[in-house]
Amino acid sequence: MHTVTPVLATQAAGIHFSNVLLNASGAFNAPLFNQLSQLNRNLGGIVTKTVTHEAWAGNPQARTVELPGIGMLNSIGLQNPGLMATLAHDLPILKAFGLPVLLSISAHSSAEFAQMAEFVLSHPNGNLVEALELNLSCPNVEKGGVHFGSAADSVREALQAVTAVFKKPVFAKLTPNVGDIVSIGGAAVEGGAVGLTAINTVLGAAIDIRRKKPCLPRVSAGYSGPGIKPIAVHAIWNLHKHFPEIPIIGVGGISTAEDVLEFLMAGASLVQVGTICFREPMIFQRITEQLQAYCQAEGLASIAELSGCAHE
Amino acid sequence: MTMISSTPLSDHACQVVFNRDCGRGLKWLRLKTLDAPFTCLPGQFVMLDLPDPRFFFRRPFSVLDVPEPGLIDIYYKIVGQGTAQMAALTPDDAMRCLGPLGIGFTPPNEPEKALYIGGGIGIAPLYQLGKSMSQAGRCVYGVRDAAEIGLKSELQQVFGEQLYIATDNGLAGFHGNVCQLLENQPELALSAQTAYICGPTRMMQATVELLNRLNPDLKVQVSLEEHMPCGIGACTGCVVPRADQYLPSKVCVEGPVFDAQAIRWESDLLPASAFCLEAPACTQ
């Protein structure tokens, strides 16, 4: 059995993470953490599946498409049991691992985001939440249904509404499906985000050539996996360049230790690993061991030294 | 609420023992675990990691049999690029197998009053269940064509004279599908206490409706097949709408076996076909 040495530990947004590796939202669920005992030694923090205020049934089948060599499409539609059930049932399970828990939340309006933040504070298990990560992928009903994450004013207002009540760190998860991710990231920071998570899935679609129809009933889906890695690295590079003091959680197509190093060097302080977990639920142990070996070979006292080093 | 397993997950390193043809487009794969011995309950499944790393998802398969601890038998049909690659596996090839996964069948109280109804490769988990019983019960096995009656002699060994074969084109056994066979021989449903169904979703739906009509007291369990990216409850990709609750169930961890009554069969959330699980190969 290996132990994780402090070399992979880092500090971001005032939170101590024992490892730069986190899971991406939606790549694990709470019961699964009980079945993967090696996870807590190879993760620095846990990100929950995105929850909404009320339970959501999600989208019709089929919900996923395999894209050989490059990743997958998903159209899950944020199926989740709701905020109350998640706080009551999942948070105690997750917190038992002794890792910081980032609660991923999504809403249809700034007011609803604020209500959710207030609900977390008022719930007996709310203190188990170390930080919030705002999933800004829903339509904003206050702005005629334009997706939250694609409009700077929506993002700013959502962050303002949440940070007005929630005083622990709030991360904004940015969508790459925008013209200028830096202006959106800037709006999140103005609204009070202490950190940025980049990137959410890329919009994509696929056609089933056998049926001559779209593979997924809703056509549009979120593209994730190794194919989006350069898009994520580009976003992180630009965000770090413009906001060098703001911690970035890099996410998008990471499958290997080399990918993690690339994200850190581009400017990320932490990374999240998602899609590859579906094939390799034990991937965190391998990446952790490889990162430790790299740090040792490079003589690094802390992997945090690498963050943004490619800009120098 | 269904109980979900908290057993630690095992990703077994395996070696191919054989990968033999057993019908048109049908294969019987035997894997041997090289690490810990493998056992499972009838109806549980495994996620097989394809040798080509381009395939981003593992493939879910019901276990056909565990002839001895550490051996895993899989009965599969070549339907797309992934299974076409599996078909090329030869003895000693390496493969990884995550499992056992999911909730299997609840065994019958009176095995001689069990009715097993399999459509195509859906026969696989029913074989393991029937084989594990002290008395075999009766088995209805429907396929499209005589060339697709895989595992006939193995099934005969378990079910003997109580194996009822139906072919859509009538080239072997009863001429018709499993529902037509059950309508034709209603005593099969009438004499049964528990029924187990596995096959294409629409076949299972039609069979559940028919059994409810023929024998409303019959307890029916179904084993669902779904698009399954992870197989371990993480992705929420494989869900089935419920008759008794708002949230759909994850097939991989709350199933794949469900009480037929728990499923909202009329929902358009159910997939039309259980067999379009992967991208087609242009050569097929």
pLDDT per residue over A12-62, tens digit each?
Answer: 999 999 999 999 999 988 878 777 766 777 999 999 999 999 999 999 888
Does B278 touch chain A if contact means CB atoms closer than 8 Å?
Answer: yes
Would you state the torsion angle of the CA atoms of residues A20, A26, A27, A31, taken in this order, to the nearest 10 degrees? Answer: 100
Strand (E) or helix (H) holding A208: strand A207-208
Average pLDDT, chain A: 94
Nearest CA in chain A to B7: A35
Average pLDDT, chain B: 91
Average of per-residue pLDDT across B32-50: 95
Q: Find the angle CA(A225)-CA(B57)-CA(A49) to the nearest 5 degrees.
A: 60
The answer to whether the Cβ–Cβ distance between A281 and B229 falls below 8 Å is: no
Does B234 touch chain A if contact means CB atoms closer than 8 Å?
Answer: yes
Q: How confident is the model at residue A144 (pLDDT cuts 50, 70, 90)?
A: confident
Residues of A in contact with B238 (CB under 8 A): 63
pLDDT of residue A147: 87
- C-alpha torsion sign, points A87, A91, A92, A98: negative
Whether B276 has a pLDDT exceeding 50, the answer reads no
Does B9 touch chain A if contact means CB atoms closer than 8 Å?
Answer: yes
The answer to whether the Cβ–Cβ distance between A281 and B9 falls below 8 Å is: yes
Does A36 touch chain B if contact means CB atoms closer than 8 Å?
Answer: yes
Tens digits of per-residue pLDDT, B8-37? 889 999 999 999 999 999 999 999 999 999
Tens digits of per-residue pLDDT, A67-102? 999 999 999 999 999 999 999 999 999 988 899 999
Does A214 touch chain B if contact means CB atoms closer than 8 Å?
Answer: no
pLDDT of residue B267: 74
The answer to whether the Cβ–Cβ distance between B233 and A31 falls below 8 Å is: yes
Residues of A in contact with B9 (CB under 8 A): 35-36, 281
CATH superfamily of B11-101: Translation factors (2.40.30.10)
Residues of A in contact with B5 (CB under 8 A): 35
Residue A144, C-beta contacts closer than 8 angstroms, at least 6 positions apart: none
Closest CB from B4, B227, B271 relative to A31: B4
pLDDT of residue A4: 58
Tens digits of per-residue pLDDT, A93-133? 998 889 999 999 999 999 999 999 999 999 999 999 999 99
Tokens representing A297 are 């070979």
Residues of B in contact with A66 (CB under 8 A): 55-57, 229, 278-279
Whether B283 has a pLDDT exceeding 70, the answer reads no
Burial of B280 (0-12, 13-18, 19+ CB in 10 A): middle
Structural domains of chain A, with CATH: 6-59+75-202+223-311 (3.20.20.70)
pLDDT of residue A1: 42
From the CA of B76, how many Å to the nearest CA of chain A?
Answer: 19
Nearest CA in chain A to B236: A76
Crossing angle between the packed helical segments A181-191 and A152-163, to the nearest 10 degrees: 20
Nearest CA in chain B to A282: B11
Strand (E) or helix (H) holding A121: helix A110-122
Average of per-residue pLDDT across A173-199: 98
* DSSP symbol at A86: I
Residue A228, C-beta contacts closer than 8 angstroms, at least 6 positions apart: A71, A176, A199, A201, A202, A252, A253
Strand (E) or helix (H) holding A157: helix A152-163
Neighbours of B1 (CB within 10 A): 7
Average of per-residue pLDDT across A209-220: 90
Average of per-residue pLDDT across B38-49: 96
- pTM for this one? 0.94
The answer to whether the Cβ–Cβ distance between A279 and B57 falls below 8 Å is: yes
Whether B277 has a pLDDT exceeding 60, the answer reads no
Which residues sit opposite B250 in a β-bridge? B239
Whether B93 has a pLDDT exceeding 50, the answer reads yes
pLDDT of residue B269: 65
Residues of B in contact with A275 (CB under 8 A): 56
CB B253 within 8 A of CB B34: no
CA gap A207, A204 in Å, rounded? 11
pLDDT of residue A33: 78
Instruction: Name which of B98, B235, B270 to mutate to probe chain A: the one with the most chain A Cβ atoms within 10 A of its Cβ.
Output: B235
Whether B228 has a pLDDT exceeding 50, the answer reads yes
Whether A205 has a pLDDT exceeding 90, the answer reads yes
CA gap B112, A156 in Å, rounded? 67
Q: pLDDT exceeding 90 applies to what percent of chain A? A: 85
Whether B273 has a pLDDT exceeding 60, the answer reads no
pLDDT of residue A39: 72
Crossing angle between the packed helical segments A181-191 and A229-242, to the nearest 10 degrees: 50
Q: pLDDT exceeding 90 applies to what percent of chain B? A: 83
The answer to whether the Cβ–Cβ distance between A74 and B235 falls below 8 Å is: yes
- Domain ranges for chain B: 11-101, 111-262
Q: How confident is the model at residue B274 (pLDDT cuts 50, 70, 90)?
A: very low
The answer to whether the Cβ–Cβ distance between A281 and B81 falls below 8 Å is: no
From the CA of A175, how many Å to the nearest CA of chain B?
Answer: 20
CB B71 within 8 A of CB B97: no
A-facing residues of B in 42-61 (CB < 8 A) are: 49, 52, 54-58
From the CA of B58, how many Å to the nearest CA of chain A?
Answer: 6
Whether B281 has a pLDDT exceeding 50, the answer reads no
Residue count of chain A: 312
The answer to whether the Cβ–Cβ distance between A79 and B280 falls below 8 Å is: no
Domain at B111-262, CATH class: alpha beta
CA gap A140, A76 in Å, rounded? 19
A295 is catalytic: no
pLDDT of residue A34: 76
Average of per-residue pLDDT across B210-228: 94
Query: What SS3 class is residue A177?
Result: coil
What ipTM was reported for this prediction?
A: 0.93
